[in-house]
Structure 1
Amino acid sequence: MDTVQSYLHACPARTVLETLANKWALLVLSLLRKQEKPLRFNELRRRLEGVTQKMLTQTLRALERDGLVSRAVYPTVPPRVEYAVTDLGAEVGALFNTLGNWAEAHVDEIMAARRAFDERPEPQPIR
């Protein structure tokens, strides 16, 4: 597929990018990829500081729908549900880890640029 196609509104790849561009999707996939075993919902929620129950639910559903995360339900009372990264999810998770490593390596430069931007005087209107 031509790379330019992904800029078109009707391109299916664009919907995939919308899911992956979500910060919680990035964090969920990265976390699940690093685990040796599947995680339960509340384990994920505890480890992902700041995520709400609603947002985690929406994120997990989107990732499961796209085949990036698997969901296993066990017939216990109450039901036990576990989430694991799929092979496809692990592949994109590796890309996310590269992005995370880049962010960590350049965080000081980015924070300095933000401070410089925030401290600069407001531009004057052109007369």
Structure 2
Amino acid sequence: MKKNPTIKDDVLGFIASEQADRLADYLSRGRKHHNLTGPQLFEAWKAAFKLMADDVRDYAKRQYEEDLKQEFLARGEEPPYDLIHDEMERFVAEVDAVMKHQEATNPDGFAKTVKAVEADLNDYRGRKQN
């Protein structure tokens, strides 16, 4: 008997699906960072992650980090998150602070964000069943 997926299963599946889409997008744009050596890629990604954590609302900084992350994945490697623990903790804290600020100062906008996440999950569930 097949068990029904949990919300965790759906979220993890959604993240994997989105990741595959981001990698395909990066590859289709020509692997902008393919010429970097391993150490150069790591240093560029680490610096980009720090910049992204400095301003979590800046889409351009997030996109730059995302492209570098995709280059790791295109090489069959995972980004070495264990080597940027402090930056990751700061990034998570900044995202949390932004979300709490939005919830406190713009409840309607926060509700729209929550609904958008729910819609994305529901869309994924629909695609997964087809």
Say whether the fold is shared (TM-score over 0.5): no
User: Which is richer in helix?
Assistant: 2
What TM-score do you get using the length of structure 2 for normalisation?
Answer: 0.25
Larger strand proportion, structure 1 or 2? 1
Compare relative contact order (CA 8 Å, sep 6+) and give the higher one, 1 or 2: 2
> Normalising by the residue count of structure 1, what TM-score does the alignment of the two structures yield?
0.25
